[in-house]
Structure 1
Amino acid sequence: MNQKHLFLSVVAASILAGCSSSSSRYDLDDDTAPKAPISVEHIEDAIPQYEPYSLGGNSNYTLRGNDYEIIKDPKGFTEKGQASWYGKKFHGHLTSNGEVYDMYSMTAAHKTLPIPSYVKVTNTDNGKSTIVRVNDRGPFHEGRIIDLSYAAAYKLDVIKTGTANVEIEVITVERPSAEHKVQKLPSYRIQVATSKYEDRSRTLAEELSQKLSVDSFIDSNNKTHRVFLGPFNDYKLTQEALEQVKLLGFDSAFIRKHTATK
């Protein structure tokens, strides 16, 4: 294990251990939505894909006197219960596997599913569904089975009610074969902004490319010009770049997956 992975594992373990304090991150009474929320209508569902399980956040653990055993084979896993959500209070903090929590990404927390996992969540109160990527632990309130990011909760109409009755279903993506890897080359792009002004879009793309030392390009269609960064071949590196973009003030930036056939 290299030093970076060791650090992330230790940090993630300390986050989880800290959950039992009186000011637990899972006591959502103090959590809030953003004061001036950006629109999340354009944010796409998480895109299920094969990912190796994280080094951090996947060990069995004990919390508040309860033992939790991580599910080794989640294929076909379903569960019914209540969903809650977490937002501004934890935005920018580390999740259980060492990633940075982004309330505008389609993510979630679960007590025992392996990290990362992809889950279809259906609000059985209104029939709305979405897909999220589990990268955190929680919630630890009785009856609650999943904690949704602000964006995911918004799409399922859970923000106003705080909780909702849901059914979750794990989406399993098998590890691609060597032949499959040759035929299809997945990559990731960060959509930063959309404008009707091509010259401004190109200027922005060039400035971001220089500041972040990444490639950029413009996608123009029907007089609409979208600024993209990438492509990236590594999802984690894409997430790190996304955090840098958001620190520059582009809160609505998000990741898009692209698969090109070789």
Structure 2
Amino acid sequence: MKFKTQIMILFSLALFGCASTMDTPYKKAHTPPSESSTYKTSPSSSTGQKSPATQRPYKIKGVRYTPIASATGFVQTGIASWYGRKFHGRKTSNGEIYNMHAMTAAHKTLPMNTWVSVHNLKNNRKIVVRINDRGPFVYGRIIDLSYTGAKRIGITGAGTGKVRVTALGRATSYSKKTKDPIAFKPVDYWKGNLTVQVGAFQVKVNAERYRYKLSKTYQNAHITTFTDDRGTFYRVRIGRFTNLKDAIRFSEKIIAQGFGSAFAVAE
């Protein structure tokens, strides 16, 4: 996991997702599509457009799940659970490393990197977390929170709690003091101002050198800065598109030309 912020559309082999129950032993049945630097797509059954790997339908324990293309207006009420130390340090479905202390969560169908509000209906506590994993795959449960997220709304003791999940969208600005997102824009994969990301660096000068090199061949070579709990990243991007389909085609083209990593993003 998109429009002032990035909708990262990474693609690869399936990676491990979150647990099907709170902090329980890992079950290999939980291997939904994931994101990485290798690009793969499949047709969308409803639009005929190509979909990011984490947007493809998948099946777990005989149940088929179809990720939604847009989080606009999404509201869901049900049971939240959490997963913690057992999965700390493992890869999530979008290719990130799971951090039980970060404000993240797993959901079966929301687009990756969607920020959602989670409201504990019993004690009225609320949190905002980012979807970066798939799950939980237990009947009646709608979201798996990180340990810290679950602790903040008071469900770590009981293990579960009734919540209301409201999609906020992509974060468009962050608090300078807390680094928490404070403004959002609805998620929609299929339209917007798109480009293609070809590299990410934690050393700014390396990103600038790569951008300069690419600017000699490609239009709109530029750098965007992104900061989260892992640190600051300087993302190098090229090209400008008005729809996902064209951005995907360009990604495929330059990968065939030798780029080790290229994927569509919306800005």
| TM-score bracket relative to the smaller structure | 0.5 to 0.7
Q: CA deviation at 1:116?
A: 1.2
Q: CA deviation at 1:115?
A: 0.5
Instruction: Report the TM-score, using the length of structure 1 for normalisation.
Output: 0.53
The superposition leaves residues 134-170 of structure 1 with CA deviations (integer Å, 9 ceiling, x where unpaired) of 1100001010000000111010001101000011111
- CA spacing shift, 1:163–1:27, aligned 2, 3 Å: closer
What residue number does 2:11 align with? 9
Amino-acid identity (%): 38
- CA spacing shift, 1:29–1:82, aligned 2, 3 Å: same
What residue number does 2:214 align with? none
Taking only aligned residues, the RMSD between alpha carbons, in angstroms, comes to 3.5
Q: CA deviation at 1:111?
A: 0.3
Gaps of 5+ in 2: 1-7, 26-50, 179-201, 205-222, 233-267
| Cα distance in 2, alignment partners of residues 15 and 118 from structure 1 | 21
| Cα distance in 1, alignment partners of residues 125 and 163 from structure 2 | 10
* Aligned with residue 98 of structure 1, among 69, 88, 95: 95
Give the number of equivalent residue pairs.
Answer: 162
Q: Determine helix, strand or coil for the equivalent of 1:10.
A: coil
- The code of the aligned residue for 2:11 comes to S
List structure 1 segments (4+ residues) > 4 angstroms apart after TM superposition. Answer: 186-191, 237-240
Superposed, 1:236-247 pairs within 5 Å as 238-241=228-231
What residue number does 1:80 align with? 77
Superposed, 1:151-162 pairs within 5 Å as 151-162=148-159
- CA spacing shift, 1:187–1:154, aligned 2, 3 Å: closer
Q: CA deviation at 1:55?
A: 4.8
What residue number does 1:37 align with? none
Higher strand share: 2
8 Å contact kept, 2:11–2:52: yes
The superposition leaves residues 31-83 of structure 1 with CA deviations (integer Å, 9 ceiling, x where unpaired) of 6xxxxxxxxxxxxxxxxxxxxxx955222111111111111122111111100
Q: CA deviation at 1:241?
A: 3.4
What residue number does 2:133 align with? 136
Higher helix share: 1
Q: Are residue 30 (structure 1) and residue 24 (structure 2) matched?
A: yes
